[in-house]
Amino acid sequence: MQAVQKLMKVFITRRIPPEGAKLLSQAGVYEVAQWDSDEPVPRAELLKGVEGAHGILCLLSDKIDAELLDAAGPNLKVISTLSVGFDHMAMDEIKKRGIRVGYTPDVLTDATAELTVALLLAAARRLPEGVEEVKNGGWSSWKPLWLCGYGLSGSTVGVVGLGRIGLAIAKRLKAFGVKRTLYSGRTAKAYAGEVGGEFVPLDTLVAESDFVVVSCSLTPDTKGMCDQAFFNKMKKTAVFVNSSRGTVVNQEDLYQALSTGQIAAAGLDVTTPEPLPTDHPLLTLKNCVVLPHIGSATYSTRGVMAELSAQNLLGGLQGTDMPSELTF
Ligand code: NDP
Ligand code: DGY
């Protein structure tokens, strides 16, 4: 890789996997400042850290808004996020300032799809409950109806947002003998044929699916989309899974739906807020499995994400191609 012009300042908002850190140190960027911790940078430190920066490598937990862009100032050429989701960034403000954005699509698709399937099975087949019963002595004998759940074979799966990850989830679920795959979104997808996907209105998907899997991006349209009306349309035997963003779901309404038996179970990899407070009502429910946003958390995926975000950053600093530039 061509050496990056000296006198450029880069701010990295967290300790990142070595694959990315190595690329940046080899590139000879003049000044790399970093929040050298596994925990998020406090807002005041973030605002101070980005002052005068030409490039920022950030995480989904860093709010990139007008205040931060003003704090960074006119040098800022590129923001590279270690995520495919970019809902933490004020894209209109970024565009206004002519700043380029890099992100990490594709490289995390398989890991996230795999985790979503694991979460679906954990919720549908009540795995955390079963593990708990083994430990607490609740396992007295084999009983015909004890810890029964719902299986995928012969079922209808509804994917809300058949994008890269939605398609990868649908492909994996096919192997479990799913009979129908429905999907909803803004437009029908030519590639849906790969999973025999039927493009249907959201209401149809919600009403006819045994498993509703949310894998869309968070936008003003999808914010709060899974609300009381949504859950009321679901079958009482259906399982709800969300691995997109927490804010797509109205959590009070989800709690109601789960606690009243309106739906059978839920699996959430994402919540609002993150972390979810340990006294949150959803955590009192046996039929709700909550994971700490670990969709892309395999060692190799996080390594490749770090590498890609470093390459994006360097491309933006050099004014050359970025391997994954967000066009908006
Ligand atoms: P894509 O852009 O490929 O897919 C996003 C999909 O969302 C598109 O197919 C789009 O469909 C759909 N969508 C947009 N608006 C709506 C809507 N109103 N109703 C239904 N669908 C809609 O992104 P990825 O698949 O790569 O990632 C999706 C999201 O997953 C990310 O934005 C991120 O939030 C989340 N994610 C979570 C991870 C985790 O750890 N849990 C890991 C990685 C990503 P259309 O084109 O028709 O608008
Ligand atoms: C993303 O990339 O958007 C995920 O939420 C974390 O990998």
**CB neighbours of 259 closer than 8 A, spacing ≥ 6?**
285
Contacts 24+ apart (CB under 8 A), 295-300: 295/108, 295/111, 295/112, 295/115, 295/116, 295/243, 295/269, 295/270, 296/108, 296/111, 296/112, 296/115, 297/111, 297/115, 298/111
Q: Which amino acid is at 204?
A: T
Does the pTM exceed 0.90?
A: yes
Tens of pLDDT along the chain (328 residues)?
A: 455 556 799 999 999 999 999 999 888 877 899 999 999 999 999 999 999 999 999 999 999 999 999 999 999 999 999 999 999 999 999 999 999 999 999 999 999 999 999 999 999 999 999 999 999 999 999 999 999 999 999 999 999 999 999 999 999 999 999 999 999 999 999 999 999 999 999 999 999 999 999 999 999 999 999 999 999 999 999 999 999 999 999 999 999 999 999 999 999 999 999 999 999 999 999 999 999 999 999 999 999 999 999 999 999 999 999 999 999 8
- pLDDT at residue 234, rounded to an integer: 99
Q: Whose CA is closest to atom 2 on ligand 1?
A: 163
Q: Count CB atoms within 10 A of the CB of residue 11.
A: 24
The single residue listed with the structure tokens 């590129």 is 78
Angle, helices 299-318/18-27, rounded to nearest 10 degrees? 20
For residue 7, the model assigns a pLDDT of 79
CA of 84 to the centre of ligand 2 (A): 5
Instruction: Please name the helix (run of DSSP H) or strand (run of DSSP E) that holds residue 35, with its range, or none.
Output: none
Residues known to be catalytic = 293
In whole angstroms, give the CA distance from residue 281 to residue 283.
5
3-class secondary-structure state, position 87: coil
pLDDT in the model for residue 3: 54
How many Å apart are CA 119 and CA 222, to the nearest integer?
Answer: 21
Looking at residue 2, its pLDDT comes to 53
| Paired residues of 11 in beta bridges | 33, 56
pLDDT of residue 28: 82
- Residue 245 CA: nearest ligand 2 atom is 5
Q: How far apart are CA 194 and CA 187, in angstroms?
A: 16
Query: What are the counts of helices (DSSP H) followed by strands (DSSP E) for the chain?
Result: 11, 12
Ligand 1 contacts CB of residue 213 (under 6 A): no
DSSP state, residue 1: -
Atom 1 of ligand 2: nearest residue by CA position = 83
In whole angstroms, give the CA distance from residue 97 to residue 73: 10
**With contact defined as beta carbons under 8 Å apart, do 12 and 32 qualify?**
yes
Look at residue 324 in the predicted model and tell me its pLDDT. Answer: 98
- The pLDDT assigned to 175 comes to 98
Question: Closest ligand 1 atom to the C-alpha of 106?
Answer: 26
